[in-house]
Amino acid sequence: MENINKLLMKKAIEATKFSYVPYSEFTVGAALLGKNGIIYTGCNIENASYTPTNCAERTAIFKAVSEGITEFSKIAVVGGPKRNLLEQCPPCGVCRQVIAEFADKDFELILGDSEENFVVYNFFEEVLPLSFTKKDLKK
C-alpha cells in the first residue's frame, strides 16, 4: 500500500513533463488510481483564451471516464511554478468538485513534492467536507 503511493507520486511528477503551460509556466501533474488497478495520468493544458484551461486532475479523471472507468481509490497531485514543485499543490475548487463526483468515502488525495515527501488525506473528511454530490440530488 505504501509503494502504490510512491508510484502515484512518481507518475504525477512524470506527468508534469507534458504540461502545456505557455501562459502561467505553472506545471501540474496528476496520477489517478482506478479500482481496476490502472493508473491514469494527467497534466494541465492551457489555452490562449485562458478559461478553456484544463487542470491536471480533470485531465486524468476525464481520460479514465472517457474509457468507461468511473471508480477510483486515490489521486496524487504535484505542481509548482517554472518546474519547481511546491511542497503541496492542492486541487482547485473545480477539480475538488469533479473528484467528488467519482470519489467514495475512502478516496484519498496525495500531495507532496517527491516520492519520499508526501501527505495522504481522506478526500471527503479533510479536503471537501461540506460537499454537494449526487447524494444531495436524491434527497
Binding site for ligand THU (CB under 6 A): 21, 24, 26, 28, 44, 46, 53, 55-57, 91-92, 95
In the complex with ligand THU, which residue's Cβ is closer, 33 or 79?
79
In the complex with ligand THU, which residue's Cβ is closer, 39 or 75?
75
Least distance in Å: CB of 131 to ligand THU?
16
Least distance in Å: CB of 60 to ligand THU?
10
Query: Would residue 108 show up in a list of annotated catalytic residues for this protein?
Result: no
In the complex with ligand THU, which residue's Cβ is closer, 46 or 138?
46
Q: How far apart are CA 99 and CA 49, in angstroms?
A: 25
In the complex with ligand THU, which residue's Cβ is closer, 25 or 139?
25
* Choice among 25, 57, 101, 116 that is catalytic: 57
Least distance in Å: CB of 71 to ligand THU?
21
Strands 39-43 and 26-34: antiparallel
Dihedral sign, Cα of residue 72, residue 55, residue 10, residue 84 = negative
Least distance in Å: CB of 3 to ligand THU?
25
Indicate which residues carry an active-site annotation: 57
